[in-house]
């Protein structure tokens, strides 16, 4: 079917185009792009250890992206997802540093705390948006900064390590507070994988099969009409924020409870922003998320070896990412144009911010 | 006429999707004349004026100026050809001062000569008696003053034809007098052409030398002034038909379904005081008036979408004043807005999704039964579309049918803005059959319409909105379209 292959092409095209541009750039600095891609491939899939690193990046990125699918469906630009991850990490850290419980209880409690932190932070964006008419992008950016400041304060103040204060990190968490890896060779948390699976399935089912999902979709496409049809649009938006925040909170919790084993500043590591990019790239089609996040995780994980092997900076992955952003925007433009000339096949998923509720036409 | 033909519009066409906004428009405007462009909302007059002033492109057709065809893209180019338009909301920059706004559209170098411009501004303001302080920020001016600024700005740019879109909305009586004097002087002394787009017939009668009337995208007539309000209304609404016999009132109880007690409604532009109304079950109330006279505000107030600044609204005996739209919905009211895809339907959702949105009350949607239900509704309402069709791919008439299908089966009260707007005769008749069906079940209907015939045919009672006043038609039995037209035009209002 023409529509489907078109949509497929417009999803894959930006990735290919940005790979190509990056290759040209590598040649310009005098290196061999083939060698670079080989090294990246090796860096990602050389052995179980490197593959586990890819998965450890994939887990929080996929969680965040699935959360953002929910807010985007409701027409909301939840740029505050970074802060929601950060607060999830902070809340989980509090549990890890202060609670004395057997691991079987402690770990679920930590994850619930992470959800609470992220959900609360998202609820603030939601309240600003629905009650005080502060656009979610501005509210989100401000709350991102606040979350960051809060974590720096905690690290350099109340939670600083006993031996000499620093702003690097809290003391390492006790072993019982950490998520256990599946095996010494394959350092991936089974529990986290299960959670990711549950989140993916629940988000897809909720959006496709529930009244809540349909109400979100209607709110996202035309909040005014949805309201007139009896949809509680304010409540819809609020619930979308909270669900996304809770999922992002788990992702933040995962970063401290597994990846680092302590709380650090900027613990989200830009994964939230990357998640926004992923969801734009797949145009809110939830099924695509795990695959695209995997590609991202592999490229980013693999490029860490570039420096050692080729004296190229690992920020090359950042360059690739930058090109990808531009390519995605470009292909969205193309898609828009294609849609205009083919109105019969209006694309399933155009991203729109909801029209502000007008008092009167 | 012996005058130089200034502007000729030839075979102008403009389509917006399925709507033919301008359909083969041919018009000639002579210099030194003030021409009123009349027509109901959506008749295509604003589109035509935007095409002439370069704010919109046409699909086909030609514009001739002084015997030569011209083509331009954009308002700047139109101004260079001497045609300038004054928008309803003046296009000025609020943070700039009067002088800066006066200067910024002027062609020329990067360092505008403030002195020269200031002298020019003062000279022009003096000539027309406008009071414009060059150093005052535009955000502090009234709408009337911003209009004056826009006029002198366009004049300074050498405009020879001035188009004004609803210029008397939101300005004071003194400002209106000043404006009209200025326009008369420009036409008489400077031989300028003035085109006035307006709903307000008294303005047109006071100012214009001639009028051209549009209806549904076509020119349906033009006449030289003076003409009476009735003649103009007849041209605008196109009524030659005799009033049809009305159905008997089918109200089976005296209890009011809707009761307004001394309600006051206000927005930025108008205030309507002291509206009292009792609507019984099964009654149909028509709201008449020129576009934007407050009918829609009242309809929206009846369903909680508009707050009354004073007074009380009861639905089925319950005081609903100040309650939200959702609470109104729960009492069994239904609302249908004029802009179907803006307010009512969600572009991007399928018919089944719409039906599921209003009918499913469980957490999980049973898509099979929703689809089945949609198919039933499609059959019942005779919709041309499939359950999986996206709503925006349907025609206007079919969208309206879907809206009817989405409304509760037996509402207490239906408030409908222009329920047959943009529909062909068949679809319109079908919609009314449905409405009358529901009325038999005891539903009260309150609706607005620009179509006098529709109002007289279907209403048990008619309320006329005019210039901030409402008046109920006293003698429905002997109401003629002429009389209704006169009332809408503002004659016979007891003030």
Q: What are phi and psi of A328, to 5 degrees?
A: -65, -45
Q: What is the DSSP track for B7-73?
A: EEEEEEEEEETTEEEEEEEEEEEETT-EEEEE--TTSSHHHHHHHHTTSS--SEEEEEETTEEE---
Q: Tell me the pLDDT tens digit for each residue of A120-159.
A: 999 999 999 999 989 999 999 999 999 999 999 998 888 8
Shortest distance between the Cα of A197 and any Cα of chain B, in A, equals 21
Record: contact A231-B361, CB cut-off 8 A: no
Q: Which of B32, B25, B29, B37 is nearest to B5 (CA)?
A: B29
Q: Cα–Cα distance between B327 and B319 in angstroms, integer?
A: 11
Record: contact B346-A229, CB cut-off 8 A: yes
Q: Report the residue of chain A nearest B405, measured CA to CA.
A: A229
Taking residues B406-425, report their average pLDDT.
Answer: 84
pLDDT band for position A344 (cuts 50, 70, 90): very low
3-state helix, strand, coil in chain A (%, to 5): 75, 0, 25
Residue B258: pLDDT above 60? yes
Fold: same for B5-237 and B241-332+410-495 = yes
Domain B5-237, CATH: 3.40.50.300
- pLDDT > 90 fraction of chain B, expressed in percent and rounded: 15
Beta B60-65 vs B68-70: how paired, if at all?
antiparallel
pLDDT for position B495: 40
* CA distance to B4, B114, B140, per residue, from B101 (Å): 33, 11, 13
B415, B302 Cβ separation under 8 angstroms: yes
| Interface test with chain A among B330, B340, B349, B448, by most A beta carbons within 10 Å | B349
Indicate the range of A2-11, A120-129, B214-223, B463-472 predicted with least confidence. Answer: A2-11
pLDDT for position A342: 53
Strongest mean pLDDT among A31-40, A235-244, B361-370, B439-448? A235-244
Indicate the range of A300-314, B88-102, B203-217 predicted with least confidence. Answer: A300-314
Q: Report the residue of chain A nearest B337, measured CA to CA.
A: A228
pLDDT for position B350: 93
Domain limits of chain B? Answer: 5-237, 241-332+410-495, 345-407
Taking residues B418-434, report their average pLDDT.
Answer: 79
Record: contact A210-B361, CB cut-off 8 A: no
Which two tokens mark B95?
Answer: 């943070």
pLDDT for position A312: 67
Q: Cα–Cα distance between B387 and B45 in angstroms, integer?
A: 37
Record: contact B329-A350, CB cut-off 8 A: no
Q: Report the residue of chain A nearest B294, measured CA to CA.
A: A360
Record: contact A218-B353, CB cut-off 8 A: yes
Q: Tell me the pLDDT tens digit for each residue of A156-212.
A: 888 887 776 566 888 888 888 888 888 888 888 999 999 999 999 999 999 999 999
pLDDT band for position A361 (cuts 50, 70, 90): very low
Record: contact B364-A222, CB cut-off 8 A: no
Taking residues B322-345, report their average pLDDT.
Answer: 88
* CA distance to A5, A30, B367, B387, B478, per residue, from A347 (Å): 12, 42, 21, 17, 55
HEC string for B155-223:
HHCCCCEEEEECCCCCCCHHHHHHHHHHHHHHHHHCCCEEEEECCCHHHHHHHCCEEEEEECCEEEEEE
Shortest distance between the Cα of A67 and any Cα of chain B, in A, equals 20
* Domain A57-310 architecture: Orthogonal Bundle (1.10)
pLDDT band for position A330 (cuts 50, 70, 90): confident
Beta B284-289 vs B461-466: how paired, if at all?
parallel
Residue B40: pLDDT above 50? yes
Domain limits of chain A? Answer: 1-31+312-350, 57-310
Residue B306 at interface with chain A, using a CB cutoff of 8 Å: yes
Record: contact A225-B367, CB cut-off 8 A: no
Record: contact A225-B325, CB cut-off 8 A: no
Q: Tell me the pLDDT tens digit for each residue of B135-174.
A: 888 877 777 788 888 888 888 888 889 999 888 766 777 7
Q: Tell me the pLDDT tens digit for each residue of B109-123.
A: 556 677 888 888 888
What ipTM did this prediction achieve? 0.82
Q: Tell me the pLDDT tens digit for each residue of A250-286.
A: 999 999 999 898 998 888 888 999 999 889 888 778 8
Residue B453: pLDDT above 70? yes
Of B329, B335, B365, the CB nearest to A211: B365
Residue A220: pLDDT above 80? yes
Q: Tell me the pLDDT tens digit for each residue of A61-108.
A: 999 999 999 999 999 999 999 999 999 999 999 999 999 889 889 999
CB contacts of B404 in chain A (<8 Å) are: none
Record: contact B362-A217, CB cut-off 8 A: no
Taking residues B234-242, report their average pLDDT.
Answer: 61
- CATH class of residue range B241-332+410-495: alpha beta
Residue A218 at interface with chain B, using a CB cutoff of 8 Å: yes
Record: contact B348-A350, CB cut-off 8 A: yes
Residue B244: pLDDT above 50? no
pLDDT for position B239: 57
pLDDT for position B243: 42
Residue B494: pLDDT above 50? no
Taking residues A21-37, report their average pLDDT.
Answer: 83
Q: Which of B420, B365, B366 is nearest to B397 (CA)?
A: B420
| Interface test with chain B among A205, A229, A339, A359, by most B beta carbons within 10 Å | A229
Residue B115 at interface with chain A, using a CB cutoff of 8 Å: no
How many C-beta neighbours within 10 Å does residue B225 have? 17
Shortest distance between the Cα of A221 and any Cα of chain B, in A, equals 6
Taking residues A25-29, report their average pLDDT.
Answer: 83
pLDDT for position A345: 40
Strongest mean pLDDT among B10-24, B226-240, B250-264, B323-337? B323-337
pLDDT for position A103: 86
Q: Cα–Cα distance between B201 and B207 in angstroms, integer?
A: 10
Q: Cα–Cα distance between B39 and A318 in angstroms, integer?
A: 59
Residue A38 at interface with chain B, using a CB cutoff of 8 Å: no
Q: Which residue has the higher pLDDT, A115 or B138?
A: A115
Q: Residue A113: helix, strand or coil by DSSP?
A: helix
CB contacts of A210 in chain B (<8 Å) are: 363-365
Indicate the range of A61-65, A301-305, B27-31, B63-67 predicted with least confidence. Answer: A301-305
Q: Which residue has the higher pLDDT, A358 or B409?
A: B409
Q: Which of A144, A139, A169 is nearest to A265 (CA)?
A: A169
Taking residues A330-340, report their average pLDDT.
Answer: 72
CB contacts of A222 in chain B (<8 Å) are: 341-342, 345-348
Residue A357 at interface with chain B, using a CB cutoff of 8 Å: no
Taking residues B252-274, report their average pLDDT.
Answer: 81
pLDDT band for position B267 (cuts 50, 70, 90): confident
Residue B249: pLDDT above 70? no
pLDDT for position B11: 92
Q: Which of B48, B30, B28, B29 is nearest to B38 (CA)?
A: B48
- pLDDT > 70 fraction of chain B, expressed in percent and rounded: 89
Shortest distance between the Cα of B333 and any Cα of chain A, in A, equals 11
Strands (E) located in chain A: none
Mean pLDDT for chain A overall: 85
pLDDT for position B371: 94
B265, B297 Cβ separation under 8 angstroms: yes
Shortest distance between the Cα of A207 and any Cα of chain B, in A, equals 10
């Amino acid at each position: 079917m023409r529509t489907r292959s078109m949509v497929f092409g417009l999803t894959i095209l930006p990735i290919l185009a940005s790979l190509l541009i990056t290759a040209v750039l590598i040649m310009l600095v005098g290196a061999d792009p083939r060698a670079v891609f080989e090294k990246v491939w090796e860096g990602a899939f050389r052995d179980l250890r490197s593959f586990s690193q890819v998965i450890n990046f994939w887990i929080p990125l996929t969680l965040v992206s699935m959360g953002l699918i929910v807010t985007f469906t409701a027409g909301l630009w939840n740029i505050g997802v970074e802060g929601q991850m950060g607060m999830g990490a902070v809340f989980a850290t509090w549990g890890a540093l202060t609670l004395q419980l057997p691991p079987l209880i402690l770990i679920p409690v930590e994850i619930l705390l992470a959800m609470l932190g992220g959900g609360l932070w998202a609820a603030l964006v939601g309240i600003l948006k629905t009650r005080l008419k502060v656009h979610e992008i501005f509210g989100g950016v401000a709350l991102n900064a606040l979350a960051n400041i809060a974590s720096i304060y905690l690290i350099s103040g109340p939670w600083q390590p006993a031996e000499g204060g620093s702003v690097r990190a809290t003391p390492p968490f006790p072993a019982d507070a950490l998520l256990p890896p599946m095996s010494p060779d394959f350092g991936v948390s089974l529990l986290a994988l299960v959670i990711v699976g549950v989140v993916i399935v629940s988000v897809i089912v909720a959006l496709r099969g529930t009244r809540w999902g349909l109400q979100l979709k209607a709110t996202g496409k035309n909040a005014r009409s949805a309201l007139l049809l009896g949809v509680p649009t304010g409540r819809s938006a609020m619930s979308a924020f909270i669900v996304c925040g809770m999922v992002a909170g788990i992702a933040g919790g995962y970063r401290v409870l597994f990846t680092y084993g302590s709380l650090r500043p900027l613990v989200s590591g830009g994964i939230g922003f990357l998640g926004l990019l992923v969801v734009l790239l797949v145009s809110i089609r939830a099924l695509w998320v795990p695959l695209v996040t995997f590609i991202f995780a592999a490229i980013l994980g693999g490029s860490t070896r570039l420096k050692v092997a080729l004296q190229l900076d690992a920020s090359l992955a950042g360059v690739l990412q930058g090109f990808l952003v531009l390519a995605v925007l470009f292909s969205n433009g193309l898609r828009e144009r294609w849609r205009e000339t083919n109105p019969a096949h209006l694309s399933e998923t155009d991203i729109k911010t909801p029209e502000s509720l007008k008092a009167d036409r | 006429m012996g005058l130089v033909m200034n502007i000729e519009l030839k075979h102008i066409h403009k389509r917006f999707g399925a709507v033919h906004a301008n359909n083969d428009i041919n018009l000639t405007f002579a210099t030194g004349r003030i021409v009123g462009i009349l027509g109901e909302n959506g008749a295509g007059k604003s589109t035509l004026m935007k095409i002439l002033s370069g704010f919109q492109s046409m699909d086909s057709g030609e514009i001739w100026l002084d015997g030569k065809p011209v083509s331009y893209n954009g308002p700047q180019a139109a101004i260079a050809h001497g045609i300038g338009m004054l928008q309803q909301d003046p296009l000025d920059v609020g943070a700039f001062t009067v002088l800066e706004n006066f200067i910024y559209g002027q062609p020329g170098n990067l360092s505008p000569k403030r002195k020269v411009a200031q002298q020019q501004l003062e000279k022009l303001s003096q000539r027309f008696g406008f009071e414009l302080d060059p150093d005052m920020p535009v955000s502090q001016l009234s709408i009337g003053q911003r209009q004056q600024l826009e006029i002198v700005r366009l004049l300074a740019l050498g405009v020879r034809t001035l188009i004004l879109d609803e210029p008397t909305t939101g300005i004071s009586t003194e400002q209106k007098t000043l404006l009209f004097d200025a326009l008369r002087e420009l036409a008489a002394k400077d031989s300028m052409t003035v085109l006035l787009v307006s709903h307000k017939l008294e303005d047109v009668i006071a100012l214009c030398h001639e009028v051209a009337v549009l209806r549904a995208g076509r020119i349906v007539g033009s006449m030289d002034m003076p003409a009476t309000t009735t003649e103009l209304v007849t041209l605008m609404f196109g009524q030659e038909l005799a009033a049809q016999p009305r159905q008997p009132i089918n109200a089976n109880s005296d209890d009011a379904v809707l009761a307004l007690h001394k309600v006051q409604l206000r927005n930025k532009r108008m205030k309507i005081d002291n509206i009292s109304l009792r609507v019984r079950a099964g009654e149909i109330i028509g709201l008449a008036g020129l576009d934007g006279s407050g009918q829609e505000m009242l309809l929206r107030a009846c369903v909680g979408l508009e707050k009354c600044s004073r007074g009380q609204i009861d639905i089925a005996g319950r005081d609903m004043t100040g309650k939200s739209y959702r609470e109104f919905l729960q009492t069994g009211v239904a609302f249908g807005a004029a802009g179907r895809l803006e307010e009512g339907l969600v572009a991007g959702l399928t018919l089944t999704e719409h039906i599921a949105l209003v009918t499913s009350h469980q957490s999980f949607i049973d898509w099979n039964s929703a689809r089945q239900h949609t198919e039933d509704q499609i059959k019942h309402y005779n919709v041309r579309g499939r359950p999986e069709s996206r709503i925006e791919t349907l025609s206007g008439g079919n969208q309206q049918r879907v809206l009817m299908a989405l409304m509760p089966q037996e509402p207490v009260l239906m408030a409908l803005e222009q329920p047959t707007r943009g529909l062909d005769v068949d679809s319109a008749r079908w919609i009314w059959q449905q409405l009358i069906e529901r009325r038999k079940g005891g539903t009260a209907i309150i609706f607005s319409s620009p179509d006098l015939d529709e109002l007289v045919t279907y209403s048990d009672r008619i309320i006329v909105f005019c210039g901030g006043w409402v008046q109920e038609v006293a003698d429905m039995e002997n109401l003629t379209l002429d009389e209704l037209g006169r009332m809408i035009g503002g004659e016979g209002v007891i003030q």
